[in-house]
């Protein structure tokens, strides 16, 4: 499976806009400026900004502040709402398509949580059909989850063609037209996913498989909250990714006159 140049360019640009990417750019800029610049005050300001952004991103305060608005309002629906659904659609996170890996090595923690939430739903509600849509940059993705589903005794319809959320929505446009379905993904990803799926005229019912904000809750003793931990940088990047994606699609649709269905 091959993705377009635009897809890879998007990923590179997103990385550079993540806090980790901005830190890298600021530190590189500082190094260049230190070699050829003349005004030390600006060099110090750039260096301080890079270190401050790195520190905030590696402690729980910034990721918690970013995640709470994204996850707010998303609760798991009750049995009555679930009974009205036609299918369960799982949007996996990262899947590793590299050859030679064991099946259990192919899935990120978020992918495991999202898929197992989908498996639990179809087991508790046997009338539901389980669909996994999403590929891996290095090859097949959803089909590995279909294989895992087979081991667990659950039939999975695997759609590998989609490298991102917007493509997933387009692929399912005709398949699920007019039918309500449970959209299973992480809580912080739901706001963007719902927006994109509804743009295609689909009827998703949000189902948060996991919440990342609980990982950023204060811990005891209190001083541990001020110690940098790389796991917080990853969570910060996840949150910023969602804000960037939402901003991009809102702006693009606004410029095209598509906000609220207007043309």
pLDDT of residue 242: 97
Using the Cα atoms of residue 130, residue 134, residue 135 and residue 137 in order, give the sign of their dihedral. Answer: negative
pLDDT of residue 97: 84
256 or 8, higher pLDDT: 256
Q: What is the pLDDT of residues 146-187, one digit of tens each?
A: 999 999 999 999 998 888 999 999 999 999 999 999 999 999
Q: In terms of C-beta density within 10 A (0-12 exposed, 13-18 middle, 19 or more buried), how is residue 240 classed?
A: buried
Q: What is the pLDDT of residues 208-255, one digit of tens each?
A: 999 999 999 988 778 888 888 889 999 999 999 999 999 999 999 999
Q: Is the pLDDT of residue 263 over 50?
A: no
31 or 149, higher pLDDT: 149
Q: Is 112 helix (H, G, I), strand (E, B) or coil?
A: helix
Give the rounded percent of residues in the chain with a pLDDT score beyond 70. Answer: 91
CATH code of the domain made up of 71-212 = 3.40.50.620
Specify the residue for token string 């890079």.
50
Judge contact between 160 and 191, C-beta under 8 A.
no
Which pair of structure tokens corresponds to residue 137?
């940059």
Q: What is the pLDDT of residues 81-137, one digit of tens each?
A: 999 999 999 999 999 988 889 999 999 999 999 999 999 999 999 999 999 998 777
Which pair of structure tokens corresponds to residue 170?
């387009």
Q: At what angle do helices 230-255 and 61-71 cross, to 10 degrees?
A: 40
Q: Is the pLDDT of residue 200 over 90?
A: yes
């Amino acid at each position: 499976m091959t993705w377009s140049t635009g897809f890879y360019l998007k990923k590179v640009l997103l990385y550079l806009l993540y806090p980790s990417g901005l830190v890298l750019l600021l530190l590189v800029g500082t190094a260049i400026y230190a070699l050829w610049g003349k005004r030390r005050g600006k060099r110090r300001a750039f260096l301080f900004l890079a270190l401050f952004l790195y520190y905030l991103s590696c402690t729980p305060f910034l990721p918690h502040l970013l995640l709470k608005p994204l996850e707010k309002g998303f609760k798991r629906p009750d049995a009555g709402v679930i009974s009205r659904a036609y299918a369960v659609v799982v949007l996996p996170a990262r899947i590793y398509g590299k050859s030679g890996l064991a099946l259990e090595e192919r899935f990120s923690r978020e992918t495991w949580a999202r898929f197992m939430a989908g498996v639990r739903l179809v087991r508790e509600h046997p009338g539901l059909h389980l669909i996994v849509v999403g590929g891996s940059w290095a090859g097949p993705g959803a089909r590995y989850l279909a294989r895992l589903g087979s081991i667990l005794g659950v039939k999975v319809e695997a759609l590998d063609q989609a490298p991102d959320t917007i493509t997933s929505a387009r692929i399912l446009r005709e398949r699920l037209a007019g039918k309500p379905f449970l959209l299973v993904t992480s809580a912080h990803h739901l706001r963007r996913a719902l927006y994109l799926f509804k743009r295609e005229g689909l009827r998703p019912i949000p189902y948060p498989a996991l919440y990342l904000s609980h990982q950023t809750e204060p811990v005891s003793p209190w001083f541990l909250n001020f110690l940098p931990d790389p796991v917080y940088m990853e969570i910060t990047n996840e949150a910023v990714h969602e804000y960037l994606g939402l901003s991009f699609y809102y702006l693009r649709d606004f410029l095209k006159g598509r906000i609220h269905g207007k043309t």
